[in-house]
Amino acid sequence: MATRAHNFFAGPAVLPVPVIEAARDAAYDFAGLGMSIMEISHRSKEFDAVVQQAQADTLGIMGLSADDYAVLFLGGGASTQFAMVAMNFLHNSADYVNTGAWSQKAIKEAQLLGGCNVVASSEDQNFNYIPKTLPFSTDADYAHYTSNNTIFGTEFKSIPDTGDVPLVCDMSSDMLSREMDYSRFSLIYAGAQKNLGPAGVTLVVIKRAWVEEKAKKDIPTMLKYATHVKKDSMFNTPPVYPIFVLGQTLQWIREEGGLGAIQERNEKKAALLYDVIDGHGDFYKGAVADKEDRSLMNVTFRLPSEELEAKFVADAKAQNMHGLKGHRSVGGCRASIYNACPVESVEALAKFMEDFHAANK
């Protein structure tokens, strides 16, 4: 097998090698059928088993009950969820926290569909921190936040307290990266292409009672959560191959020891890079104002000049390290170190950063 690159792209992003190998095999011959996973009927018992297992693994990893929560595999990315959440549950007014580009997109969609109350924002400092005061309404239809901000490198370290108001979270870039009480959420959604699998499928975990009691009925069929809950994600032909790969990733998480082991490794990886940044504060400047808000998934930093940043990215690429250029909207550098990013890759990057500092300070 060819040497694997050190992959720090923000998404589509690195996948576990065993998952890639399983996807490769299933692309040619799935379950001994002599057909690709992409060629078989989504109504077949073989694919039904894939979906059932992935749903069970999702709930098992999150510590949730199938009686209380439904697991959906939908198309359209998290971007469709921005509108779908509001279309289903925004009756009067909903509370939103604005912590970056993806929060802004969610807010824009909600504003098109009804009352949207932005209760807190970090836009005043270009989203380089997480707001500490979140004055949620007691009568909102729901409260929404983005747990990890891929572009800016900030992350909520605790679940906001919304009282009895249903809590909705976009976890696209840190889904299943750490332990938490997932039962505090009424709806979680995540585009797969960062921590779960390839682009093309969105994971939705939704409280059944909320759908039954509060979801609107007078909206298009495909945009109703109730449609997909009732049909177990099989109302229309689902994204079969991405679901298979997502399912393999869930099995990999279980085999790695679950969220406790995943979190421990993620914290170790992040510390390797933040320690270099903090150790050379005259050269590497972390993009996040408060260290407590630093993301475990996306490490963002600047160098003394844009010329040095370009050289950093180019020199790293020459050493088989890819995806280190910051998002076009903010510049700088970014290392995305999702669940599947090996510790060895992060160790190699940390050493490169030390060597680059020594040669260019």
Question: What is the rounded distance in angstroms from the CA atom of residue 83 to the CA atom of residue 215?
Answer: 13
**Does residue 220 sit in helix, strand or coil?**
coil
Positive or negative CA dihedral for 176, 69, 197, 150? negative
Q: What is the DSSP letter of 64?
A: -
* 170: annotated active-site residue: yes
CB contact at 8 A, 130 and 81: no
CB contact at 8 A, 98 and 116: no
Of the residues 57, 95, 102, 174, which is catalytic? Answer: 102
Q: Write the CB contacts of 73 (distance below 8 Å, at least 6 apart in sequence).
A: 51, 54, 201, 202, 203, 204, 233, 238, 239, 243, 246
Amino acid identity at 91: H
DSSP string, 308-339: HHHHHHHHHHHTTEE--BPPTTT-SEEEE--T
Question: What is the rounded distance in angstroms from the CA atom of residue 311 to the CA atom of residue 328?
Answer: 16
* 164: annotated active-site residue: no
* 102: annotated active-site residue: yes
Of the residues 141, 174, 194, 224, which is catalytic? Answer: 194
Question: What is the rounded distance in angstroms from the CA atom of residue 243 to the CA atom of residue 71?
Answer: 12
Tell me which residue of 59, 69, 113, 51 sits closest to 212, measured CA to CA.
Answer: 69
CB contact at 8 A, 116 and 96: yes
CB contact at 8 A, 153 and 126: no
**Does residue 13 sit in helix, strand or coil?**
coil
Of the residues 141, 170, 174, 293, which is catalytic? Answer: 170
CB contact at 8 A, 237 and 231: no
* Catalytic positions, written as ranges: 102, 170, 194
